[in-house]
Copies of this chain bind each other. A is one copy, B any other.
Amino acid sequence: MAKALPLSPLAQPLPRLEPVAGVRLGAVAAQIRYKDRTDLMMMEFEPGTTAAGVFTRSKCPAAPIDWSRAALAQGTARALVVNSGNANVFTGRAGVHATQISAAAAARVVHCAATEVFLASTGVIGEPLDAERISDAMPALYDKLSPDGWEDAARAIMTTDTFPKAATRKVEIAGETVTIQGIAKGSGMIAPDMATMLGFVVTDAAISHDVLQALLHMGTDRSFNAITVDSDTSTSDMVLVFATGQTGTPPITSLADPQLTAFREAFDSLLLELALMVVRDGEGASKLFSVKVNGAVSDESAKKIALAIGNSPLVKTAIAGEDANWGRIVMAVGKSGEPANRDTLSVAIGNTWIARMGTVIEGYDEAPVIAHMKGREIEIQIDLGLANGHAQIWSCDLTHGYIDINGSYRS
């Protein structure tokens, strides 16, 4: 299905991906749903690798979500197995069984416990996943693993994505260069029967599970949890991070460790880069927009207001139409249910303030606003004038392309 979609106009090229010490990875075609394309990806980690994860808040999560959440309890990882084509969602006991078979197959080739294997699936919902195809393909997949398999891995996890997504950073810890590198997929929260947001990041730094988990929570809050394509939340969303500790840098076991500062900055920016790629590949997206909210009663309130704007179909269609329709932005603030006062509210588009303290600025210069709306990246700012809460989120416009992709007749 993905093949039929034209490349997103917001697509970004793959960066140069180098090996990360302690991980070998690769992909094969296991014929799970697609024909003649890779749909099964694996990473093998050196013993001692720590893991952290964040998962969908869906109340109807996929079976692999349950599996990986449980695996995370140990805090370590030896393998990650991801298939595309079938999400293993709403598959009952058969779905649970499929996760057991998949993890056992990986554990056999890696020689580890099944509970050290993380699983993720993305694709069609409600159809049984034939895990035999995964276990059958496992020996060949294991033979293909190499430190250079990053691009293959990034491609194998795609569904309706129009471009593969990866990002990389180098940063120093105690005078040693460490690498942080990750891949992601996602384009709609659930695409024509298939899609989901997945992110997998590996670093060769040594970081304890607890610290890694805290970093991931904070980092996703401002990246993967601050983006929206269509407000719909997949049953299978997952971001995992693995630290192999192979650089020989001293293990970081405290969030307060000053060695962590540069790492954290690089890690956060890598998560945001990956997350924004998902928005850039939003179904039908022609423009990326950010919503920055200041002056809210709390950061949490600011984020809710920002998401109300980012998810509003009327704001999203206005962006598609290059229409600086700030009335719809005010509407979205009002509907968020969060504390707001129309008489202290200010609105800017592309750094031009259009309304201040609840009234339109008479004779404001519309020219730079119109020019800004014609660009690929749009910036909306709100100041609520109440307190100091702030947040930023990213979204994409709502176009005919979205309807084409999601409203087409199923054969």
Q: Give A contacts to B, CB under 8 Å.
A: 56-61, 89-92, 94, 124-127, 188-190, 193, 230-235, 311-314, 317-318, 320-328, 330-343, 345, 355, 357-360, 397-400, 402-403, 406-410
A284 to B39, CA, bound (A): 38
Whether B359 lies near A92 (C-beta < 8 A) is: yes
Chain B residues contacting A92 (CB-CB under 8 Å) are: 343, 357-359
Whether B126 lies near A232 (C-beta < 8 A) is: no
Decide yes or no: A61 and B342 within 8 Å by CB, A234-B331, A334-B233, A360-B126 being known contacts. yes
The quantity of this chain's copies bound in the complex is 2
Q: Give A326's nearest chain B residue, CB to CB.
A: B126
Whether A355 lies near B314 (C-beta < 8 A) is: no
Chain B residues contacting A190 (CB-CB under 8 Å) are: 314, 327-328, 331
Say whether chain A's binding surface is mostly helix, strand, loop, or mixed.
Answer: loop
A235 to B326, CA, bound (A): 13
A318 to B355, CA, bound (A): 38
Whether B340 lies near A60 (C-beta < 8 A) is: yes
Partner of A407, one of B234, B326, B398: B398
Whether A314 lies near B189 (C-beta < 8 A) is: yes
Decide yes or no: A125 and B333 within 8 Å by CB, A90-B358, A359-B91, A402-B317 being known contacts. no
Partner of A331, one of B127, B235, B333, B357: B235
A56 to B324, CA, bound (A): 24
Whether A90 lies near B342 (C-beta < 8 A) is: yes
Whether A323 lies near B399 (C-beta < 8 A) is: no
Nearest first, the 3 closest Cβ-Cβ pairs linking A and B are A125-B327, A58-B334, A60-B334
Chain B residues contacting A343 (CB-CB under 8 Å) are: 92
A313 to B333, CA, bound (A): 20
Partner of A406, one of B321, B338, B408: B321
Decide yes or no: A193 and B325 within 8 Å by CB, A89-B330, A92-B358 being known contacts. yes
Chain B residues contacting A328 (CB-CB under 8 Å) are: 125, 190, 232
Closest CB of chain B to A186's CB: distance in Å?
Answer: 14
A60 to B345, CA, bound (A): 9
Partner of A230, one of B56, B234, B313, B359: B313
Q: Give A357's nearest chain B residue, CB to CB.
A: B92
Closest CB of chain B to A35's CB: distance in Å?
Answer: 21
Whether A406 lies near B61 (C-beta < 8 A) is: no
Q: Give A125's nearest chain B residue, CB to CB.
A: B327
A-B contact pairs, 30 of them (CB 8 A): A59-B333, A59-B334, A59-B336, A59-B341, A60-B331, A60-B342, A89-B327, A89-B330, A90-B360, A94-B359, A125-B328, A126-B327, A127-B360, A189-B314, A193-B325, A230-B314, A231-B231, A232-B335, A233-B331, A233-B335, A234-B331, A235-B334, A313-B313, A314-B406, A317-B403, A318-B406, A318-B407, A323-B409, A400-B400, A400-B403
